[in-house]
Structures are given as structure tokens and as C-alpha cells.
Amino acid sequence: MIIEGAGWEIIDLGIDVSADKFLASLEEHPGAYIGLSCLLTTTMLNMEAIVKEIKSQKPETKILVGGAPVTDDFRTKVGADWYSADPQGAVDYLNGQ
């Protein structure tokens, strides 16, 4: 809601989204940014796999990560482009692009 309130269009793909669904959405929306969030450490493994799959097929795609257990070290490890502890940090990143 905060990112959308800042003027960005959001395409919510839902929860437990596969890398294939993200890649299909990128075909429909070229140049889109991907935002991934998780609330549990157990889902961080899936986040890592999704980032790596998207980057392997669409390396130019910018991926933002966040959520309670996520850190900037995790962002670096998985190859995402930006980490924010809160939605306003994501807005600041997007507005600076």
C-alpha cells in the first residue's frame, strides 16, 4: 500500500509464487521491478531460489527483498539488488532509479 501510495503500479502475484509466474509476469510487463517479502526464515530458501532463477533468465531485472528475517547480508548472498527493512526504503530506492 505504501509503494502504491507513492505512485507506483503494483501487480500482486499473491503468495507462494513460483519463479515461472514471476518470469511470465515480466514478459507481460517488461522493465518491471520485482519485490519479494517473507515473514518466516523457512521461506527464505524459496526466496533465494526465485531470485537466482529470475536473475539467470533476466539478469537485468531489479529485485527488491524485505521482510522480518531478511537482512542486507541475505540480499547480497542471493543476488538481489536492494534490501529494505520497511516499505518506505523500497519507495526511496524506486524513486531514485
pLDDT tens digits for range 28-52? 999 999 999 999 898 899 999 999 9
CA distance 27 to 92: 26
Looking at the whole model, is its pTM more than 0.85? Answer: yes
Task: Give the start-to-end residue ranges of the domains of the chain.
Answer: 31-97
Fold entry, domain 31-97 = Rossmann fold (3.40.50)
The percentage of residues in the chain with a pLDDT greater than 90, rounded to a whole number, is 91
Sign of the CA dihedral running 25, 30, 35, 40: positive
Q: Is 78 exposed, middle or buried (CB count within 10 Å of its CB: 0-12, 13-18, 19+)?
A: buried
pLDDT of residue 33: 97
**Contact partners, residue 53, CB within 8 Å, separation at least 6:** 19, 23
Which strands sit side by side in the sheet containing 82-83, from one edge to the other?
34-37, 63-66, 82-83
